[in-house]
């Protein structure tokens, strides 16, 4: 295995409280030295003017494999990941078949062995995501799953959800919750409000997410067990999580880049790439999400990367929910959070790398000596326009298409190997 020397970089590592100009020396896939010292190496990268940080950890990704490989597969999804600086990701279970058996877990593990990112696996809480029969959590854990969720839809049976939350810590797993009351959502397509009324399209009330969030917090408090709340999009859910943390409930939470950068006004274009679930909300919700990131209520930024084909997304009302996001997540966060002064660069890396790694309890999120050399190198000042034809995944359904963003990934290293280099 080759050695790599990264010279003259601004090294940002919140775990070690480091933000300084340093050199990084990598040998045999591990970080050997971060200092001012010079080293000879097989590969030298001059990173003057660039930032070196721990590889991003995206804890909410739909790879669509098995079953929907016309949208994405494990290899192409990881190609998109590394192009966005993501070196570790958590794959969601709403595949076909669902990740509800050791056999499907093994399939994902086998197929991801040669991928350009590390794939961690979420197994489902109930068989087929139907909330009718709980899965065997012990078997799924032994097979290699590290998290549990019925993401794509909530666990309707509260007893099954409670059982999973209790069993998860015993099996060194975490529960990541899609919070939604399906009865309140009632088949809505976009946020219920001004835009849904203007377009004459059935809306999803914010209360659908908020009651789901409240239920999971109540279970975590009642049983004194952890819960992670996925893709937070509303002002009230932020308030519920903040209150729960103040009461020492074991709750963590994530949001996604589109929830701090876009509003429901984008839907007036009737472009289905702006349709996701939870839906884009109002300006007051965007402000609350940003405040939640600033004050620590929201621990992580994840993408909810959800590929769909152009054919599926061609009909605004009939299209499935979801957008791709791994290749643009860092740029959107730099543009809308760091450049606007809401977060420091170190705070952003904490939310996109260190905190997700801690929540999932995986070996990532740090540039400590001896750690895996999973690294992103990016130019925080480069301005570019998002060109869907240059995206590395199979699907192109990004709400950030043709948008001008600031900050671009230049290299991604996985175990010390360069797996992505920008043109």
Q: Determine the pLDDT at residue 423.
A: 81
305 and 162 part of one domain: yes
Residue positions annotated with a catalytic role: 304
Domain count, the chain: 2
CB 414 within 8 A of CB 421: no
175 by Cβ neighbours in 10 Å (0-12 / 13-18 / 19+) ranks as buried
What is the C-alpha to C-alpha distance for residues 271 and 339, in angstroms, rounded to an integer?
28
Residue 332: C-alpha distances to residues 82, 101, 237, 350 (Å):
16, 36, 22, 16
- Are both 96 and 44 inside the same structural domain? no
Note the pLDDT of residue 223. 98
Do 21 and 116 lie in one domain? The reply is: no
Whether 274 maps to a domain, the answer reads yes
In a domain, 367, yes or no: no
209 in a domain, yes or no?
yes
Residues 195 and 122 in one domain: yes
The angle formed by the CA atoms of residues 414, 419 and 423, to the nearest 5 degrees, is: 140
Look at residues 333, 360, 387 and tell me which one is the last residue of a structural domain: 360
Per-residue pLDDT at 2: 87
Question: 417 with 344, same domain?
Answer: no
Q: Are 355 and 343 in contact (CB under 8 A)?
A: no
The two tokens of residue 95 are 């595949």
- Inside any domain, residue 177: yes
User: Which residue, of 360, 391, 407, is where some domain finishes?
Assistant: 360
pLDDT, tens digit only, all 423 positions of the chain:
689 999 999 999 999 999 999 999 999 999 999 999 999 999 999 999 999 999 999 999 999 999 999 999 999 999 999 999 999 999 999 999 999 999 999 999 999 999 999 999 999 999 999 999 999 999 999 999 999 999 989 999 999 999 999 999 999 999 999 999 999 999 999 999 999 999 999 999 999 999 999 999 999 999 999 999 999 999 999 999 999 999 999 999 999 999 999 999 999 999 999 999 999 999 999 999 999 999 999 999 999 999 999 999 999 999 999 999 999 999 999 999 999 999 999 999 999 999 999 999 999 999 999 999 999 999 999 999 999 999 999 999 999 999 999 999 999 999 999 999 998
pLDDT tens per residue across span 320-346: 999 999 999 999 999 999 999 999 999
pTM: 0.98
3-class DSSP string for 252-321: EEEECHHHHHCCHHHHHHCCHHHCCCCCCCCHHHHHHHHHHHHHCCCCEECCCECCCCCCHHHCCCCCCC
Provide the token pair at 53: 């940080």
The residue among 317, 332, 360 that closes a domain is: 360
Query: In the prediction, which pLDDT does 254 show?
Result: 98
Residues linked to residue 227 through DSSP beta bridges, in sequence order:
251
Q: Residue 366 domain-assigned?
A: no
Q: Are 138 and 172 in contact (CB under 8 A)?
A: no
Of the candidates 159, 170, 78, 90, which has an alpha carbon nearest to the alpha carbon of residue 123?
Answer: 90
Is the separation of the CB atoms in 169 and 226 below 8 Å? yes
241 is written with which tokens? Answer: 């999580």
328 and 386 Cβ atoms separated by less than 8 Å = yes
Complete DSSP assignment for 350-372? IIIIIHHHHHHT-S-S---TTSB
Q: Residue 138, SS3?
A: helix
Is residue 253 within 8 Å of 228, Cβ to Cβ?
yes
User: CA-CA distance, 365 to 410, in Å (whole number)?
Assistant: 19
In our burial notation (b when 16+ CB lie closer than 10 A, e otherwise), range 247-269 reads eebbbbbbbbbbbbbbbbebbee
Q: How crowded is residue 85: how many other Cβ atoms within 10 Å of its Cβ?
A: 32
- Looking at the fold, whether 345 and 385 belong to one and the same domain comes out as no
Show the tokens assigned to 9: 């970089």
CATH number of the domain residue 8 falls in: 2.30.40.10
Based on the fold, state whether residues 389 and 402 are members of the same structural domain: yes
Write the CB contacts of 311 (distance below 8 Å, at least 6 apart in sequence).
none
Q: Is 177 helix (H, G, I), strand (E, B) or coil?
A: strand
The reply to whether 10 and 89 lie within a common domain is no
Are residues 187 and 267 located together in one domain of the fold?
yes
Residues 174 and 104 in one domain: yes
The pLDDT assigned to 1 comes to 66
Domain assignment present for residue 365? The answer is no
Q: Do 135 and 166 touch, CB atoms closer than 8 A?
A: no
Query: Domain with 323 in it: what CATH number?
Result: 3.20.20.140
Q: What domain range is 109 assigned to?
A: 55-360
Could you tell me if residue 195 is inside a domain?
yes
Same domain, 345 and 415: no
Same domain, yes or no, for 341 and 396? no
DSSP bridge pairs for 5: 25, 44
- Cα Rg of the chain, angstroms: 20
Q: At which residue do the structure tokens 């929201």 appear?
A: 298
What are 409's strand-pairing partners?
Answer: 378
SS3 at position 38: coil
């Amino acid at each position: 295995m080759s050695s790599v020397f990264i010279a003259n970089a601004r090294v940002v590592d919140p775990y070690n409280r480091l933000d300084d100009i340093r050199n990084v020396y990598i040998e045999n896939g591990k970080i050997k030295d971060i200092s001012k010292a010079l080293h000879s190496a097989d590969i030298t990268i001059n990173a003057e003017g660039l930032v070196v940080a721990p590889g991003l950890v995206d804890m909410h990704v739909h790879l669509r494999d098995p079953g929907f490989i016309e949208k994405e597969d494990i290899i192409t999804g990881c190609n998109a990941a590394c192009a966005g600086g993501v070196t570790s990701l958590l794959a969601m279970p709403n595949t076909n078949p669902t990740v509800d058996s050791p056999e499907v877990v093994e399939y994902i593990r086998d197929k991801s062995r040669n991928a350009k990112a590390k794939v961690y696996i979420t197994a489902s809480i109930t068989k087929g995501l139907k909330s009718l029969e709980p899965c065997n959590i012990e078997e799924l854990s032994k097979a290699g799953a590290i998290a549990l969720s019925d993401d794509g839809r909530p666990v309707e049976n509260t007893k099954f959800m409670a059982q999973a939350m209790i069993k998860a810590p015993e099996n060194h797993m975490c529960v990541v919750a899609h919070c939604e009351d399906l009865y309140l959502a009632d088949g809505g397509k976009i946020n219920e409000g001004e835009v849904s009324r203007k377009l004459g399209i059935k809306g999803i009330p914010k209360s659908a997410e908020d009651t789901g969030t409240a239920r999971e917090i109540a279970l975590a408090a009642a049983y004194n067990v952890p819960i992670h709340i996925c893709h937070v999009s509303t002002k009230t859910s932020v308030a519920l999580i903040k209150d729960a943390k103040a009461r020492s409930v074991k709750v963590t939470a994530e949001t996604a880049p589109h929830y701090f950068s876009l509003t429901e006004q984008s839907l007036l274009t009737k472009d289905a790439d702006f349709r996701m679930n939870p839906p884009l909300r109002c300006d007051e919700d965007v402000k609350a999400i940003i405040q939640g990131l600033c004050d620590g209520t929201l621990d992580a930024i994840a993408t909810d990367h959800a590929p769909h084909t152009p054919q599926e997304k061609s009909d605004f009302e009939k299209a499935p929910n979801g957008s791709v996001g791994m290749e643009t997540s860092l740029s959107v966060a730099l543009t809308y959070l760091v450049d606007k002064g809401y977060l420091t660069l170190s705070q952003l890396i904490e939310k996109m790398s260190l905190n997700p790694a801690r929540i999932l309890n995986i070996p990532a999120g740090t540039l400590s000596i001896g750690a895996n050399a999973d690294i992103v190198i990016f130019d925080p000042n480069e301005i570019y326009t998002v060109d869907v034809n240059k995206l590395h995944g199979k699907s192109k359904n990004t709400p950030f298409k043709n948008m001008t963003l600031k900050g671009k990934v230049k290299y991604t290293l996985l175990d010390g190997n360069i797996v992505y280099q920008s043109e």
